[in-house]
């Protein structure tokens, strides 16, 4: 595999780089800002956060500290499920932009289709935010195909992405097929299964074959599926290891072997998840 890739080596889906830095649970302000700046200096151009992560200020500090033009960074955040009434969506997005230190959020997600989520109340606020230039793109997270179709019926703006848990132990075949049929981008959170896939013997054998890490194999598999991955990492070593996955090309046999892993292990399953989750 190729080592030391650059920002230009990261494939894109439109304007969205297919590898980003996840920041869930990165709540120490100094550490969070440093990890974001480190990732951007290394070549990452996609940073994912959320109001509920309580770190948008620190993410913004990291973006500002990096020697990377703002227009080169794809910034994504999320409106929490309790803030999905019309006025609350507007206020939440404006405050997120302020905390992040950006004029426009590149992609704003609905974090969960629960709590205060009502399509006719919530989605027009996202259209308004696009019209005002507060956000560029509308996204959803943890939505089922039926919920996506309902959202599209209400939205005037294009629906850009659905962010869901996905990794070799949760292959999301139905969602991937639906996304491919309906021109929707999939973004994978917890792409390493919160660490569960790192001890997998099948993945380890493929990693040894390519002189790569198991994390790199999992991320490369997602890329082969056309899915953007946003692994979280805080140390420079892990940030770099994940980034070097863009230089790993799996062959068809590798992909088929991973597809055949007979295990389903969802890591994120709150009480408010959709019934058909």
Backbone phi and psi for residue 37, each to the nearest 5 degrees, phi listed first = -60, -40
- Select from 121, 106, 115, 169 the least CA-distant residue to 142: 115
SS3 for the chain is: CCCCCCHHHCCEECCEECECEECCCCCCHHHHHHHHHHHHHHCCCEEECCHHHCCHHHHHHHHHHCCCCHHHCEEEEEECHHHCCHHHHHHHHHHHHHHHCCCCECEEEECCCCCCCCHHHHHHHHHHHHHHCCECCEEEECCCHHHHHHHHHHCCCCEEEEEEECECCECCHHHHHHHHHHCCEEEEECCCHHHHHHHCHHHHHHHHHHCCCHHHHHHHHHHHCCCEECCECCCHHHHHHHHHHHHCCCCHHHHHHHHCCCCCCCCCCCCCCCCCC
Catalytic site positions: 53
> What contacts 52, CB < 8 A, 6 or more positions away?
78, 80, 111
């Amino acid at each position: 595999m190729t080592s030391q890739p650059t920002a230009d080596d990261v494939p894109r889906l439109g304007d969205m780089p297919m590898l980003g830095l996840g920041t869930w649970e990165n709540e120490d302000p100094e550490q969070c800002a440093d990890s974001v700046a480190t990732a951007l200096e290394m070549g990452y151009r996609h940073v994912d956060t959320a109001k509920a992560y309580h770190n948008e200020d620190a993410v913004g500090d990291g973006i500002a500290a990096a020697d990377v033009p703002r227009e080169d960074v794809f910034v994504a955040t999320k409106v929490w499920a309790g803030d999905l009434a019309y006025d609350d969506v507007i206020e939440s997005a404006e405050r997120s932009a302020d905390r992040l230190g950006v004029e426009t959020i590149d992609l704003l997600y609905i974090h969960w289709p629960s709590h205060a989520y009502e399509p006719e109340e919530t989605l027009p606020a996202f259209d308004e935010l696009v019209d005002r230039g507060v956000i560029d793109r509308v996204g959803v997270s943890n939505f089922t195909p039926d919920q996506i179709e309902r959202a599209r019926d209400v939205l005037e703006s294009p629906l850009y992405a659905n962010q869901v848990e996905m990794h070799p132990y949760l292959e999301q075949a139905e969602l991937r097929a639906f996304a491919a049929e309906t021109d929707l981008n999939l973004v994978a959170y917890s792409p390493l299964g919160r660490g569960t896939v790192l001890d997998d013997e099948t993945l380890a054998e493929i990693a040894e074959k390519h002189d790569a890490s198991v994390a790199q194999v999992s991320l490369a598999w997602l890329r082969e599926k056309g899915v953007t991955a946003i692994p979280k990492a805080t140390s420079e070593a892990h940030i770099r290891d994940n980034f070097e996955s863009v230089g790993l090309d799996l062959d068809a046999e590798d992909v088929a072997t991973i597809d055949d892993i007979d295990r389903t292990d969802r890591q994120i399953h709150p009480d408010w998840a959709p019934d058909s989750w």
